[in-house]
Structure 1
Amino acid sequence: MQSDPPSSIQSSFTQIGVEPPFVSVLEKHGITVPTPIQHQAIPAILQGKDLVGIAQTGTGKTYAFGLPMLQSMAHEKGRALIIVPTRELAQQIEEALAPLASLYRIGIAVFIGGASMHLQRRMLRNNPRILVATPGRLNDHLEKKTVTLREVRILVLDEADRMLDMGFKPQIDRILAHVPRERQTLLFSATMPKEIMQLASAQMRLPLRIEVAPSGTTAAKVEQELIIVQQVNKGMLLQSLLRDYHGSVLVFSRTKHGAKKITRLLNDQGFPAAEIHANRSLGQRRAALQGFKTGKYRILVATDIASRGIDVTGIEVVINYDLPDDAGDYVHRIGRTGRADREGRAISFATPSQAQHIREIERLIRAPLRRRSHASVPQLPLEEGRSDKRPQRRSSPRSFPPRSGAPRHGTQRKNFRPRRRY
């Protein structure tokens, strides 16, 4: 894999090859200077090169691939396929690219779970040239033969590391089997695990690697803090922190059940909060995200799976109520604050037994998490002798009893339902 040296030269979009009609639209949206990933990626993509882009969330990746993709499609035939891990990210990309695509009447269709298959089939009658899809729903259409990918000339895999973490590798492989081998492939990721390198090696032609920050690097202006707290005291600590800060707050729970209980606790205590996780319908997730953007809800409680595509400017604090299972998810989580060169803060809760898990995060980000205490809870040390790799499954405040009829720990419901596809 080739590497492109980083550049610190500030240039305009015109200087890196973006045509005037697109530049005018960008300027109307207040975008005049390319971000580092855009500065390096756009010229290479316009030259037709395969590309692997390593960049944090919130660095402008959508325009980094979207601008050269649309400019190429304005002058040549063919379709583009953008594969993303979640519904929210698919919708975010469609919203970002639609004003640019309308310049040349390039239609965009979004295929995501939770939406009507029938309506999605009707979209295809308008012959959209760009398809933004989640792996599960696109596979549904391929199985029913309601869509063909024979004309795809540009393939984008966005947040590829997250898609593999979510277990989408089999679906992605099936999709790639339907896409022509002669194509341009663009892969974007915040981290670069070996699985991504293997995917790039198997599916890309001499890809150029652009790394605006080393894999696992967190945003420079995000202050990261760690509080050691007993599980039983997390709810109390969360409420105290919410009184300390007055801006919008994004809270991460490891589980959808935990997210629901945290949201209920906050609303009961007078904190306007909404939840976004796999048990919420597409309409509920849209309403929660829109309410968070407009200020109706000051707090959004999310799981890792559902949080992809949350593009909200000005989030003051990200709180990791639970540490993520995978250290790479820590980078994705805190990337929701400190976006577009703004300052932000990320506060993580860890139980005393999670020393090993903390070390894995610190190893990935190449920096120690600053320990701090809070007056609302006892100050605790890490128990270095213990090495619980995974956080405890209980991810919600103890102020709520288990729901009636819920299975006891270690048992399963008789009617097991497989994990929802995105």
Structure 2
Amino acid sequence: MSEKTFSQLGVPAPLVTALTAAGIDSPFPIQVDTLPDTLAGRDVLGRGKTGSGKTLAFHIPMIARLGGKLAGGRRRAGRPLGLVLAPTRELATQITNTMSPLAEAYDLRVTTIFGGVSQGRQVTALKEGIDIVVATPGRLEDLMKQGFLHLDAVEITVLDEADHMADLGFLPIVTKILKATPTGGQRLLFSATLDNGVDKLVNQFLHNEVLHSVDEANSPVAAMTHHVFETSGNDAKKELVYKLASGTGRRILFMRTKHHAKKLAKALTEAGIPAVDLHGNLSQPQRDRNLAAFGDGDVNVLVATDVAARGVHVDNVELVIHVDPPMEHKAYLHRSGRTARAGAEGDVVTICLPTQQKDLASLLKKADIQVQPQKVTANSPEVLELVGEIAPYVKPAPREAKPQGGSGKSMGANAQRKRAQRESRGANPAGRPTRVTIDGKPARDRSGRPPANENGQRRSGSHKPSNGSGSRNYGTAAGGGQRQRPARQNSR
């Protein structure tokens, strides 16, 4: 942490008060480096690892500069003055949730625009007048084409996770969007890397930009500890995974495919370890419900694919487990970045089968991670130390399985890009609009009927998930855990 305060960096008093109320007292290095320039209106290119504080580094100058000028006085329908582009729905929602309390200090209105939900509430918000829009590129472009949104009044534009937008194939759309903003506006670009065409965006749209990179030694991400646990085979791996998942703290388990994420969440829940899953086969309400259950502490285990590798921020995730090692080193770094965020400590475990040792060694070398592999069992001291206190057994609630659609097969890079672009524009993986409103709140469709499931069938009555007794369940149709307080048992 720096010894400088937000006030010394030029942050206005109303925002300092709002930051303090949110428990944010000291700026991180990337905020110390960038705020003097961003608050002065300069274009900035910020580079730093995930969890290094990039998000707050653009929240503060956008709100301070717009709020100081506007105070709600120049609000016009469909013509925001601030624009934040993010690659995924989860990240866009996360940005809005953290920005909104700060924006209230100046009575600024912030709204989220992303695909996979009905555009009705988004259009209504735009017509009522919005100061700052946080959006995914596809849906934003659609609303522009329909005439609901115009970017000719935008004074500050932010590109967050620009490298991930490039990975998902969004750069052509992002280029069109940036061309629609005024040339003289301030532009801030935050990215972990400058590959895959991000440098072209910088050259084309940033003017006299200042580059700020966070040194690894000064980054709060340095509080992350890496482990490689080698197992003798699949049975030993399964036992190890269950043990690592059984602690009382929050942990995220990463799988390579949607099918295996769903299957493991169900299996853990049935073993008395309540878990929820997060992957591309879930509808937006399912994603929101599962993330809420994890964030609220109703369950401590999230089993996810790389859809959760970026944009999912939950406080105090103490352990990230690569159950399936990722295919490339950037995915490893972003998955791992779900822990040890904003100065907190955290551990990262990669489980390695004998056949994976060579590939994993190469991946870690590219990621610049130096760690000595350890041969372990589920009861090795190194494992038990990470697990800590064992959480009480939770009896799984009976639940009727409902089909979710999708084959569960792993997608290639092109398929992943197409899915992300489809979701950004407003379609779920099956190509149908998902009937929820802005910010993930359930809604009825235009006919007033309950939303359709992934097979086109409509539920009757309440949307709320139920196990028949009024208790709330979490997880997908394939598995969920009922939180209750049974007598403590020593075995699973």
TM-score normalised by L of structure 1: 0.83
- For the Cα contact (< 8 Å) 1:56–1:218, is it kept in 2? no
By how many angstroms is 1:308 displaced? 2.5
Q: Which residue of 2 aligns with 1:32?
A: 25
Q: Which residue of 2 aligns with 1:385?
A: none
1:315 aligns with 2:320: no
Q: Deviations along 1:290-340, whole A, 9 cap, x unmatched?
A: 111222111011121244322111111100112223311211111111122
Quick one: which of 42, 45, 50 aligns to 1:52? 45
Q: Secondary structure at the match of 1:339?
A: coil
CA distance in 2, matches of 1:202, 1:214: 28
By how many angstroms is 1:56 displaced? 2.2
Q: Secondary structure at the match of 1:370?
A: coil
Q: Secondary structure at the match of 2:285?
A: helix
- For the Cα contact (< 8 Å) 1:248–1:316, is it kept in 2? yes
Q: Deviations along 1:154-199, whole A, 9 cap, x unmatched?
A: 1111111122112222322232232222221111122343532232
CA distance in 2, matches of 1:59, 1:11: 17
Distance 1:219 1:104, change over 3 A: closer
Q: Which residue of 2 aligns with 1:263?
A: 265
- For the Cα contact (< 8 Å) 1:54–1:213, is it kept in 2? no
Q: Which residue of 2 aligns with 1:394?
A: none
CA distance in 2, matches of 1:294, 1:408: 28
- For the Cα contact (< 8 Å) 1:252–1:302, is it kept in 2? yes
- For the Cα contact (< 8 Å) 2:257–2:410, is it kept in 1? no
- For the Cα contact (< 8 Å) 2:339–2:346, is it kept in 1? yes
Structure 2: unaligned runs, 5 residues or longer: 71-79, 381-402, 425-492
Quick one: which of 161, 174, 180 aligns to 2:176? 174
Q: Which amino acid aligns with 2:160?
A: D
Q: Which amino acid aligns with 2:268?
A: L
Q: Secondary structure at the match of 2:120?
A: helix
By how many angstroms is 1:23 displaced? 0.7
Q: Which moved more, 1:155-164 or 1:174-183?
A: 174-183
Q: Secondary structure at the match of 1:16?
A: coil
Q: Which residue of 2 aligns with 1:147?
A: 149
Q: Which amino acid aligns with 1:246?
A: T
1:133 aligns with 2:135: yes
Distance 1:357 1:170, change over 3 A: farther
Q: Which residue of 2 aligns with 1:325?
A: 327
CA distance in 1, matches of 2:244, 2:300: 13
- Pairs within 5 Å for 1:312-391: 312-355=314-357, 357-376=359-378
Structure 1: unaligned runs, 5 residues or longer: 1-7, 379-402
- For the Cα contact (< 8 Å) 2:225–2:348, is it kept in 1? yes
By how many angstroms is 1:345 displaced? 0.6
Q: Which amino acid aligns with 2:7?
A: T
Distance 1:42 1:405, change over 3 A: closer
Aligned residue pairs, count: 385
Distance 1:214 1:166, change over 3 A: farther
Quick one: which of 60, 67, 75 aligns to 1:67? 60
Q: Which amino acid aligns with 2:156?
A: I
Q: Which residue of 1 aligns with 2:244?
A: 241
- For the Cα contact (< 8 Å) 2:269–2:275, is it kept in 1? yes
- For the Cα contact (< 8 Å) 2:30–2:57, is it kept in 1? yes
- Pairs within 5 Å for 1:190-339: 190-193=192-195, 195-213=197-215, 219-229=221-231, 232-233=234-235, 234-243=237-246, 245-339=247-341
Q: Which amino acid aligns with 2:85?
A: I
CA distance in 2, matches of 1:410, 1:317: 25
CA distance in 2, matches of 1:99, 1:407: 41
Distance 1:218 1:329, change over 3 A: farther
Q: Which residue of 2 aligns with 1:15?
A: 8
Distance 1:183 1:170, change over 3 A: same
By how many angstroms is 1:147 displaced? 1.2
Quick one: which of 75, 80, 83 aligns to 2:82? 80
TM-score normalised by L of structure 2: 0.72
CA distance in 1, matches of 2:256, 2:30: 30
The RMSD of aligned alpha carbons is 2.9
Q: Secondary structure at the match of 1:75?
A: helix
Q: Which amino acid aligns with 1:10?
A: E
Q: Which amino acid aligns with 2:348?
A: A
Q: Which amino acid aligns with 2:243?
A: S
Q: Which amino acid aligns with 2:340?
A: G
CA distance in 2, matches of 1:169, 1:264: 37
Distance 1:164 1:406, change over 3 A: closer
Q: Which amino acid aligns with 1:235?
A: K
Q: Which moved more, 1:224-233 or 1:163-172?
A: 224-233
- For the Cα contact (< 8 Å) 1:50–1:184, is it kept in 2? yes
CA distance in 2, matches of 1:404, 1:114: 16
Distance 1:171 1:253, change over 3 A: farther
By how many angstroms is 1:356 displaced? 5.4
CA distance in 2, matches of 1:28, 1:36: 21
CA distance in 2, matches of 1:411, 1:29: 40
Q: Which residue of 2 aligns with 1:43?
A: 36
CA distance in 2, matches of 1:354, 1:239: 20
Q: Percent identity?
A: 35
- For the Cα contact (< 8 Å) 1:54–1:214, is it kept in 2? no
Q: Deviations along 1:29-88, whole A, 9 cap, x unmatched?
A: 221111111111111101211111112222222221111111110233671110111112
CA distance in 2, matches of 1:143, 1:404: 32
Q: Which moved more, 1:344-353 or 1:158-167?
A: 344-353
- For the Cα contact (< 8 Å) 1:224–1:370, is it kept in 2? no
CA distance in 2, matches of 1:210, 1:70: 20
By how many angstroms is 1:203 displaced? 2.1
Q: Deviations along 1:136-169, whole A, 9 cap, x unmatched?
A: 2212212323211111111111111122112222
